[in-house]
Amino acid sequence: MAASGVDAGVLAVQRPHRADAARNFDALLAAARTAFAEHGSQASLEDIARGAGVGIGTLYRNFPSRQHLLSAVYLGEVEQLCSVADEVAGLPAWDALVTWLRRFVGYQVAKRTMWEGLDRNLEMFYAGRDALLAAGEPLLARAQAEGEVRPDTDLTDVLWLIVGVTSSLVVDEARFERVFAMALDGIRAAGKR
């Protein structure tokens, strides 16, 4: 992970080295991500194992508890969002920031479905937050330096705004897009709207 100042060891998900075990691990994470999105943090572990095409014993060998599985899914979301920051860095400043914020919306929705089950006292949770800030801050700083974003804001302000928009459970995609566009207009520099 490219996030500076963050202990990568805290964020590392221990993926098995053997090919078959790694496939099972990845299948479990994908099934868990889907199950948590659909049913929240209390999704059935048996259903997750079945969805991954493995037995419950394989799930518990990889993830000894529900908390381990939730943490792994959370870390996967953080890693993906940090990777997106690296991937979009070559885009024009405003486009890079907006693309990353759109992906942040997806992360926020996924996190919200797991929120009640996540142990927010874990060092991992705070390291994830720090990694996200470290990944997004250069995108915001570049957009500000190029006059695209108002200079009187920081990434925490922007993310609070986006969290406010995404937590409103808007089910109409067109309405969500309008509200998201209004939030983006709120951070644009004068004359850029």
Q: SS3 of 112, please?
A: helix
Please tell me the pTM assigned to this model.
0.80
**Would you mind telling me the total number of residues written for the chain in this entry?**
193
Q: For residues 111 and 78, is the Cβ–Cβ distance under 8 A?
A: no
Question: DSSP character for 185?
Answer: H
Higher per-residue pLDDT: 50 or 5 = 50
Q: 30-86, pLDDT tens digit by residue?
A: 999 999 888 888 899 999 999 999 999 999 999 998 888 988 888 888 899 999 999
Is residue 2 very low, low, confident or very high in pLDDT (cuts 50, 70, 90)? very low
Residues 6 or more apart from 29 whose CB is under 8 A from it? 72, 73, 76
Number of other CB atoms surrounding residue 5 within 10 Å: 8
C-alpha–C-alpha distance, residues 76 and 29, integer Å: 8
- Average pLDDT for residues 160-167, to the nearest whole number? 82
Of 3.30.1200.10, 1.10.10.60, 3.30.43.10, 3.40.50.1000, which CATH number belongs to 16-64?
A: 1.10.10.60
If 0-12 CB within 10 Å is exposed, 13-18 middle and 19+ buried, where does residue 14 land? Answer: exposed
For the chain, give the percent of residues with pLDDT over 90. 50
Q: Left (φ > 0), alpha (ψ -120 to 50) or beta: where does 191 sit?
A: left
pLDDT at residue 171, rounded to an integer: 66
Helices (H), 40-122: 45-52, 56-62, 66-88, 93-114
- How do the domains of the chain map onto residue ranges? 16-64, 72-193
Tell the CATH topology of 72-193: Tetracycline Repressor; domain 2 (1.10.357)
C-alpha–C-alpha distance, residues 154 and 13, integer Å: 30
For residue 184, give the H/E element and its range: helix 173-187
C-alpha–C-alpha distance, residues 184 and 181, integer Å: 5
C-alpha–C-alpha distance, residues 14 and 55, integer Å: 20
C-alpha–C-alpha distance, residues 50 and 161, integer Å: 38
